[in-house]
A and B are shown apart, each in its own frame.
Chain A
Amino acid sequence: MYKDGRGGKVHKMSKTTAMTGAESAAEAMRQINPDVVAAYPITPQTAIAQNFANYVANGIVDTELVRVESEHSAMSCCVGASAAGARVMTATSSAGLALMWEIVGVAAGLRLPIVMEVVNRALSAPINIHCDHSDSMGTRDLGWIQIFSENAQEVYEHTLIAVRLAEKLLIPAMVCQDGFITSHGVENVEIFDDEGVKKFVGEHKYPYGLLDIKKPVTHGPLQLQDYYFETRSQQIPVMEEAKKEFVKIGEELGKITKKKYPLFDEYEMKDAEAVIVVMNSTAGTTKTAIDAMRKEGKKVGLLKLRLFRPFPYKEVSDALKHVKKIAVLDRSVSFGANPPLYSEVKNGLYDVKYTGKLHSCVFGLGGRNIFVEDIIGVFNRLLDGKLKDHDYIGLREE
C-alpha cells in the first residue's frame, strides 16, 4: 500500500481482510470512486454510508457526498446527478427504500445508471430492524436490475459488476445483501488491487448528460397517451439483454478474481433429487446443510439465484426441470399471492411442463433465525414427502 497525490491509500495488490458486508460494499465504492453519493442513514445500511463518508472525509475518494434529509431526497439527488452525467451511487434499507420508492421508479424510467446498495431489512409494521427481503421485493417491478449476494465477498464483486452493467445498458441496479447477517457479520474478504479494479470499472461515458451544452437534452418531460407506452416498452427488451451482459461482464471480472459469475449457482445439483432454491445468506447455510447430508448419502442440492431482475426463467427452469422435488425458500411474502421467488420459479417451470413436486417455504421474516438444522429439516421433509405445498420454517403456527 502507498499513498497517492491526494493522500489516498492505494492497494497495489489484492489483500484478504476480515470485514463486514457493509465494509466490503464501501470498499467497492472506494475503488469505484463515484462522482456523487447521496445517502441517508438507516439501520442496517448506515454502516456503508458511514464507512464511505470516512473515505470522503479523508480525501481517499473524489466523491461529492450529499447528506440529504431523507431517502426520497437521496434518490432525487442521485437522479439529478446521474442525469447530469455523473457516476452515482447510494445505499439504503427497508423503510428508506420504501420512502424513496417513487424516485426509484423515476431513476429506471429515465434510464439513469445509478447503483444502490440495498441492505435487506423487514418493512414495518411491526417495526423491525432485522433481515428479510420485503424491501427489495417491493421494488421488484420498478425496472431496476436486482442482484442478490450470499456473503460480503459477493457484495463486493457484485457491486463492481453492477456499475458496469448499469452503465452499459443504462438501467439502474441494486446490489442486495442480508441485513446484519451479511452487513454486520465479519468474514474474510479478498479485495483486489485498485488499479485492476479501476481498469475493469472504467470511465462512465453517459451520452445524454445535462451539462453537455453542445447537445442540449431534456430529462423527464411529460408523456401522455401518445408516447408513455412506447417509452415504457423500451425497458422490456433491454432488461432481457441484462442477463447476457451480466454473464459477459462477470467473465471479464473473473479474469481478475479467478471466479465465475453465473446468473445462478448450482451446488451439488448434478444428481440431486431434492433441491432448495434460495437467495442471499441462507444459500450459505444451505450449502453447509447439503455437505452434511451428502455425507449421509442424501442427494440434495441448491440453486442460488444471483440475478432476480431480470429473472432468468428459461435458464432456471432448464436447471430444475429434472429435479423431482423442489422447495423454494422465500424471505418475504406477497399477501394474497404466491411469495415472489416461488412465484417466479413456478412461472418458469410451466414452460418446461415440469412434472415434479414444487413447494413454497416462507422463512426468516423480520430476521427470524434460520439454522443448518432447519434446512436439513426442510430437505428431510421434502425427501419424505412431508413438506406442505405452502409451508413455513420456524413459525409458531398453532
Chain B
Amino acid sequence: MSRLKSAKEIPIGGLIDEAGSSRKFKTGDWRSFRPLIEESKCINCMMCDVFCPEHCISVKEDGKRGEIDLDYCKGCGICANVCPVKCIKMEEEAKFIK
C-alpha cells in the first residue's frame, strides 16, 4: 500500500480527478478463499474470466488462460462455480499466510 495522502494533498469533496483509478484499489486483501487451478484439467474455455467480477484472470497471447491476479481476486469463488470441468478449487487463504 502506498503512503496515504494528507487532507491538503487530496482533491476536495472526496472526488476522484482521474480516470481508471480503480486499478489502485487492490481488492485482493478482501480474500478469505484463494482459487487454485488444476492445470492438467483446464480446457481453456475462459468461462472463469467471463464471470470474474474483477476480470483478474488474464488471457495470454495464444488465447489460453493465464494467471489469476491475486492483487484483485476477492476470493468470491464464482470461477470455481462456473468452471465446466471443475478444475478450480477454493482453498482457505489462511493456509497461505506464512
Contact = CB atoms under 8 A, between A and B. Distances in A.
A111 B14 CA distance: 9
Contacts of A231: 7, 10, 12-14
B13 A111 contact: yes
Interface string B1-43: 0001111001111111111010000000000000000000000
A111 B12 contact: yes
Interface stretch (A24-32, A88-96, A217-225, A319-327): A217-225
Interface residues of A, number: 21
A215 interface: yes
Interface string A180-215: 000000000000000000000000000010000001
A315 B18 CA distance: 41
A198 B4 CA distance: 43
Interface string A235-268: 0000000000000000000000000000000000
Interface in A162-193: 170
Contact of A221 (B6, B7, B16, B19): B16
A37 interface: no
Interface residues of B, number: 15
Nearest to B1: A226
B13 A109 contact: yes
Nearest to A112: B13
B10 A110 contact: no
Interface of B: 4-7, 10-19, 21
Given A228-B14, A230-B10, 5 more contacts: A208-B15, A217-B16, A223-B14, A226-B4, A227-B5
28 contacts: A109-B13, A110-B13, A110-B14, A111-B13, A111-B15, A170-B12, A170-B13, A208-B15, A208-B17, A217-B15, A217-B17, A218-B15, A218-B16, A219-B15, A220-B14, A221-B16, A223-B14, A227-B4, A227-B14, A230-B6, A230-B7, A230-B10, A231-B7, A231-B10, A231-B12, A233-B7, A234-B7, A234-B12
